[in-house]
Structure 1
Amino acid sequence: MASSSVPVYLRDENLTQETRDLLSSLPSEKGWLVSEMYQYEGSWHTQAVLQGVVNCQKHFEANDSDIILATLPKSGTTWLEALLFALIHRKKFPVSSGNHPLLATNPHLLVPYMEGDYCVSPDVDFSKLPSPRLMQTHLSYHSLPVSIKSSSCKIVYCCRNPKDVFVSLWHFGKKLAPQETADYPMEKALEAFCQGKFIGGPFWDHVLEYWYESRKNPNKVLFVTYEELKKQTGDMVKRMAEFLGCGFTAEEEVSEIVKLCSFESLSKLEVNKQGKLPNGIETSAFFRKGETGGWRDTLSESLADIIDRTTEEKFGGSGLKFSF
């Protein structure tokens, strides 16, 4: 998969011999999004992202002031990137100024994707990021670089209804890798999802790790849901600000950030409708609907029930409840 039209995360031409040796020792499966994915430390990755994961674990050094946004793919990452960027840099970039970076730059270019940036080279330099450094990851908690877990940096974790995650992945896959997904039945994809065999999965293990960590160390990990954010965006933004030590003094400031970072505002911007990111993904692919409960347009009742039963089984006894 070396075509220039294929996103960096799905290519294999830049793999080091060390990565190729590691891949040969790992369990592998054909996925519905990629021709081959590999299981490393319990999670599934593409070849390129796996190289980025290992480089990130080896070389990333956290600062105590760092802020890490952790999500599974298709769980509100783009929205959270925008909210957190606007939130922590609101003194330097006042929303009311009319020339905010989010008006001209896709959120993914303002918030580095850690293991993604480490895909190509182990020499990624995050030192030039403004303090506090804001970075994003899809890694499970146990796979985070040691320095993140041992430092005083903060982690904001956002999860989403697994039915919406699956449906968003399904549509994203058709844009990202149309040839790979063209003849892949939805029933087969959903079975793989429920078995945890998708990029970044298993869903339930990923969510539960951060859930338990947030309960054990609430000053370190803030656990929020996409659904909470949609229902009470202003209140959740204030909660995140307090957690990060940069609370608001004016209500107006909160509403301005909420409006700037809304799906309606961001999706209409030219920078989010045209062009591609450096990794080859079209910016428009990150803005489909941004709804809660959108799975109803795609999933039959019987397929939705399979995910619901899996969720009840996996989350049973955890204390984690969702109104899904």
Structure 2
Amino acid sequence: MEAFAHQNPHPDSAIQKQKWFSDEFLYKFKGSWIWSTYLESTKKVVENFKPLPTDVILASFPKTGTTWLKALLHSIIFRSSEENSLIFNHPHELIPSLETKLFLESNGKDPAFTDQKVRILGTHIPYQIIGDVLNSSDCKIVYVTRNPKDTLVSLWHFIQKAKKFHEDPWTLEAAVDQFCNGVLPFGPYYDHVLAYREESLKRPWKVFFVTFEELKDDGNKQVKRLAGFLGCPFEGENAEEKIEEIVKSCGFETLSNHEVNKSSETPECFPLPYNSFFRNGKVGDHENYLKPEMIHQIDAITRQKFHASGFVYGI
């Protein structure tokens, strides 16, 4: 399958669109920019997805720690019966995405998930689009975000795995400008983060909000919090030991060394190889790539969007 091949009918040309890179376009849908490849499946999620009260939805902006959280959530919820799952299965296969897999290939009717008491499902869809759907049940939402500069650099590296990147490169300068203007897949980034954060403040029993940096700083503490939020706390004399085991087994060094995660094979419904999801996993990597003026440009937007909203984060 050719990288970034369009898998859906071309969207209505009347919809507002912006060029992303090469011949890839983003389309405006309910105030957010959706990559043309996933525009129709995103619409299907909004129209047809019926979350169950027992569902756990992992929401995130792309490249903010999604793969890591999928591994952690799977390990926390299925800790006793799925000990070797992460060794033999990529996290994105264990926890499928609504718009990039389930509703893309089969309208969400995935038989592999019908027998599970708890379904863990991923999405990058902004709350502004999917909020009413998620609020239609008592499902739990876990949201992870990451420093805007590290997010951008991680996305820029991620896209370099695409064949089209080398045919018509997405320059870092263009990436910075598009990020600041909000024109990226599922963007604007700042609106994406703030909407889920606001919901977590309003309804902390429904929405768990955590940052990539908090997980790196004290993974044990955050895993313990997550387990409590999900209603499956660690208990007993060896509770701390179990938490430590999960944090270690889901760490970047461990996951990136599993053969399935080093594979150059491409998933059926995604145009980049399995190994593209594991590159660095560090905090502050943007300093190795962004020029001072780029950092200043992004920080200015961060102050305007985050800090002015009371979320002192990202600088």
Which TM-score band applies after superposition, normalised by the shorter structure? over 0.9
The alignment yields a C-alpha RMSD, in angstroms, of: 1.8
CA distance in 2, matches of 1:162, 1:173: 17
CA distance in 2, matches of 1:262, 1:214: 26
Percent of aligned positions that are identical: 39
Aligned to 2:92, which of 101, 108, 116? 108
Change (3 A) 1:273 1:198: same
CA distance in 2, matches of 1:179, 1:316: 34
Judge conservation of contact 1:259–1:265 (CA < 8 Å) in 2.
yes
CA distance in 2, matches of 1:310, 1:123: 37
TM-score by length of 2: 0.93
- Classify the secondary structure of the residue corresponding to 1:144: helix
Amino acid at match of 2:254: S
Question: Paired residue for 1:12?
Answer: 6
CA distance in 2, matches of 1:106, 1:283: 7
Question: Paired residue for 1:49?
Answer: 38
Question: Paired residue for 1:151?
Answer: 137
Unmatched segments (≥5 aa) in structure 1: none
Aligned to 2:241, which of 252, 265, 268? 252
- Classify the secondary structure of the residue corresponding to 2:68: helix
- Classify the secondary structure of the residue corresponding to 2:160: helix
Moved more, 37-46 or 305-314: 37-46
1:271 matched to 2:260: yes
Aligned to 1:120, which of 88, 102, 105? 105
Moved more, 292-301 or 276-285: 276-285
CA distance in 2, matches of 1:243, 1:107: 21
Aligned pair count reads 308
1:242 matched to 2:228: yes
CA distance in 2, matches of 1:304, 1:148: 35
Matches within 5 A, 1:173-322: 173-179=159-165, 182-249=168-235, 250-274=239-263, 275-279=265-269, 280-322=271-313
CA distance in 2, matches of 1:154, 1:13: 30
Query: 1:249-269 CA deviation, whole Å, 9 max, x = no partner?
Result: 111100110111000000011
Question: Paired residue for 2:75?
Answer: 86
Matches within 5 A, 1:59-70: 59-70=48-59
CA distance in 2, matches of 1:222, 1:33: 37
Judge conservation of contact 2:148–2:314 (CA < 8 Å) in 1.
no
Query: 1:147-170 CA deviation, whole Å, 9 max, x = no partner?
Result: 421211100000000000110111
Amino acid at match of 2:248: K
Judge conservation of contact 2:306–2:313 (CA < 8 Å) in 1.
no
Judge conservation of contact 1:139–1:200 (CA < 8 Å) in 2.
yes
1:38 matched to 2:32: no
Change (3 A) 1:76 1:141: same
Question: Paired residue for 1:138?
Answer: 124
Amino acid at match of 1:289: N
